[in-house]
Structure 1
Amino acid sequence: MILIHSISTGKMELFSREIDETKNWLPKEGTVNYYGKLMSSEEANFYYKALLEGIEWRNDEAVIFGKHYITKRKVAWYGDQRFEYSYSNVTKHALPWTPELIKLKALAEAKSGETYNSCLLNLYHSGEEGMAWHSDGEKDLKKNGAIASMSFGAERKFAFKHKETKEKIDIFLENGSLLVMKDATQSHWLHRLPPTKKVDSPRVNLTFRTIER
């Protein structure tokens, strides 16, 4: 089941597994498609374990107003070549693809009809770790390009908020699922992973994207 909550209307909508993969979950100024689970629970758990153990995880860093912060959340950056990727005044260099990431990238490309040359991964150890409101608008990213978000492990709520109207949309992302953001989404919408005390297990998130030079 897919549970969508629109804060603007206050309504909770429940959708069956048979969803329209072309449906845009945003009401305007952007495109978000949710494909639900792409694989069996057994296959999703296999990738979850492989990513936990096989990725070169590092604590994320940020420099804000000259102060250096290190987060509990861990990250990793992989790509076709040693891309540089900068955000929060910190620069990362992409590592070579692992066999599992190559397979998952191909799956994301086949489902979304897009191509990707890099992937930013996040490891959230529990629901207490999340991500604040932001847009993926770094200058190295393809303008209005697609970002394919694959989730493994704990099911977590993923939220969107329109930059002007403040309208909010929540989507619950399942283990082994795919969500794609594209077109003008990053220009008009913020997104975040809200922290929660209801989740005590890890979640691994892969965001396949396209770097342009």
Structure 2
Amino acid sequence: MKLFDTPSNPSKNLLPEDGMVYYWGKIMAEEKADHYLKALWETIAWKNDEAVIFGKHMVTKRKVAWYGEREFEYTYSNITKKALPWTRELLDLKTLTEKTTNESFNSCLLNLYHSGEEGMAWHSDGEKDLKKHGAIASLSFGAERKFAFKHKQSKETISLYLENGSLLLMKGSTQDHWLHRLPPTKKVHLPRINLTFRFIV
């Protein structure tokens, strides 16, 4: 059974230990979520993601963008990005996310997956630029995709499906003890846009 087939309970921690993850499910109507998917697709300055792994420069099919309240520099996978100024849609979504989660954010890393064949490998968001144990809120638009967590020591896994217009929050020591990923799948042919609101120190 898919986790979201039962009513979402944002007060229930989805992790059994060593961190906190909360899922609100859909926080807006389908029509509104579709509107944001189209607007973000058309207005965001998308670029193919880049990484330097073992000295080799890699370019992904997945596209990314980095926005914030100032020209924050954010480094991951040995590549540094400089934040662009907020768009109207991003500001609206930041406000909604802050009101829903009671957290504050000053930046957003966006991902565009053209189909299910594009995903993200196991990783933690533990970059030094991020507030230690700060909250990371993930808003999803478009195709419903599986999202998984794996404990770094026990290897226990937890997975759920992220819906169009849904909100997930990771906080506390989650990044210290858990990896997360978006596994690729050939069953999904539609695009997904994911917004991860963060706090840069």
TM-score category of the 2 structures, normalised to the smaller one: over 0.9
Aligned counterpart for 1:196 among listed residues 163, 185, 194: 185
4+ runs deviating over 6 angstroms:
none
1:14 CA drift (Å) = 4.1
How do 1:52-201 and structure 2 match up within 5 A?
A: 52-201=41-190
The separation in 2 between residues aligned to 1:14 and 1:35, in whole angstroms, is: 13
Output one character per residue of 1:58-115: Cα deviation in whole Å (capped at 9) or x when no partner.
0000011111100000000000000000001100000000000000000110111100
The separation in 2 between residues aligned to 1:67 and 1:61, in whole angstroms, is: 10
* Structure 2: unaligned runs, 5 residues or longer: none
Output one character per residue of 1:86-145: Cα deviation in whole Å (capped at 9) or x when no partner.
001100000000000000000110111100000000000000000000000000100000
Superposition TM-score, scaled by structure 2 size: 0.98
Q: After the TM superposition, which of the residue ranges 176-185 and 19-28 deviates more from structure 2?
A: 19-28
1:15 alignment counterpart: 6
The separation in 2 between residues aligned to 1:187 and 1:154, in whole angstroms, is: 29
What is the root-mean-square deviation in Å for CA atoms of aligned residues?
1.0
Once the two structures are aligned, what percentage of the paired residues are identical?
A: 68
1:20 CA drift (Å) = 2.1
Q: Secondary structure at the match of 1:27?
A: coil
User: Which amino acid in structure 2 is aligned with residue 30 of structure 1?
Assistant: G
The separation in 2 between residues aligned to 1:129 and 1:109, in whole angstroms, is: 29
* Structure 1: unaligned runs, 5 residues or longer: 5-12
Superposition TM-score, scaled by structure 1 size: 0.93
Output one character per residue of 1:162-198: Cα deviation in whole Å (capped at 9) or x when no partner.
0000000011000000000000000000000000000
